[in-house]
């Protein structure tokens, strides 16, 4: 074999293996996804075993150390009572995540019920559900949550329920669209031809195929729920001081923003980081589901 033929053979082999290499590269997680995953792992660790990450007792009061700036002794500084901000941020992770996850579950549950009714309840039910969702969409989500709190009173439990109910219309519209697309699929049509009941079709064909998109939707919604719950706490309608909750810490730190910026900045960064991380992971799952890079 001549040198020219050998070179051409090598080029052909590289061209043939290029799609495989691109596919392997595509399966590798992106740098942003890795960072987001690491941050979420930190949040989970802070939720499950906060004592391993806390450097001090988050509720220990030390007036002599009040308003200490970030240092090796206090990584995120201290508040007006001398409590360690870093330890309080770690301690508040479980509360904030619990509120976000529970609110997302409530919103998805109501959205799933409305989505199933609209997707499989017939034209009349579909029309009624769509009109109800449009009426709820006329109210901004946070305003709807405020209305619930006005009726039932402030508190972390009420704030969680309020945030969950306020997110339900958005979930209902997305889930309905997903169900309508599945309803017109060939395997659902085949199940109808075979005489399967509507309940069996929903349980055996529709819900299993909709679980992955719904799970992706949930990961995207957790960050939004945490932001809204923190906003309610900031307004004094959610968790109340001295609770170690990120929104309540923001509310407590706004009074001292000019002299102790760290009281507000670090809890705010945790809210932003959690929202971005859950959104990045949700989009990564969505890309995996579509088969994109």
**How many C-beta atoms lie closer than 10 Å to residue 197's C-beta?**
10
Reading the block at residue 256, the tokens are 């001292």
Q: Name which of 9-18, 117-126, 254-263 the model is least confident about.
A: 9-18
Reading the block at residue 93, the tokens are 């992770």
pLDDT for residue 97 is more than 70: yes
| Lookup result for tokens 């009714």 | 117
Q: Which domains does the chain have, with CATH numbers?
A: 40-290 (1.10.3720.10)
**How many C-beta atoms lie closer than 10 Å to residue 246's C-beta?**
29
Residue 131 CA to residue 114 CA, distance in Å, equals: 11
What average pLDDT is seen over the chain? 79
Residues 279-292: tens digit of each pLDDT: 888 778 777 765 55
Average pLDDT over residues 12-36: 58
User: Taking the C-alpha atoms of 238, 239, 242 and 248 in order, what is their torsion angle to the nearest 10 degrees?
Assistant: -60
pLDDT for residue 4 is more than 50: no
Q: Which pLDDT score is estimated for 27?
A: 52
Q: Which pLDDT score is estimated for 290?
A: 57
């Amino acid at each position: 074999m001549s040198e020219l033929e050998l070179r051409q053979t090598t080029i052909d082999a590289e061209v043939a293996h290029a799609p495989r290499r691109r596919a392997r590269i595509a399966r590798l997680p992106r740098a942003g996804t890795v960072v987001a995953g690491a941050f979420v792992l930190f949040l989970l660790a802070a939720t499950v075993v906060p004592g391993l990450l806390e450097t001090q007792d988050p509720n220990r009061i030390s007036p002599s150390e009040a308003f200490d700036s970030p240092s090796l002794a206090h990584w995120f500084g201290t508040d007006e009572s001398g409590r360690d901000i870093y330890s309080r941020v770690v301690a508040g992770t479980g509360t904030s995540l619990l509120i976000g996850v529970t609110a997302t579950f409530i919103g998805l549950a109501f959205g799933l019920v409305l989505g199933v009714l609209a997707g499989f309840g017939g034209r009349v039910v579909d029309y009624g559900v769509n009109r109800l969702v449009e009426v709820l969409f006329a109210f901004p989500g946070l305003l709807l949550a405020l209305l619930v709190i006005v009726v039932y009173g402030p508190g972390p439990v009420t704030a969680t329920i309020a945030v969950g109910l306020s997110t339900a219309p958005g979930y209902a519209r997305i889930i309905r669209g997903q169900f309508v697309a599945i309803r017109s699929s060939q395997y659902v049509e085949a199940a109808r031809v075979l005489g399967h009941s509507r309940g069996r079709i929903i349980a055996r064909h529709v819900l299993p195929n909709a679980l992955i998109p719904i799970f992706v939707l949930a990961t995207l919604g957790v960050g939004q729920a945490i932001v809204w719950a923190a906003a309610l706490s900031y307004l004094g309608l959610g968790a109340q001081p001295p609770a170690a909750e990120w929104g309540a810490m923001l509310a407590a730190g706004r009074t001292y923003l000019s002299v102790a910026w760290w009281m507000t900045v670090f809890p705010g960064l945790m809210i932003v980081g959690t929202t971005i991380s859950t959104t990045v992971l949700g989009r990564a799952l969505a890309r995996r589901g579509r088969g994109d890079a």
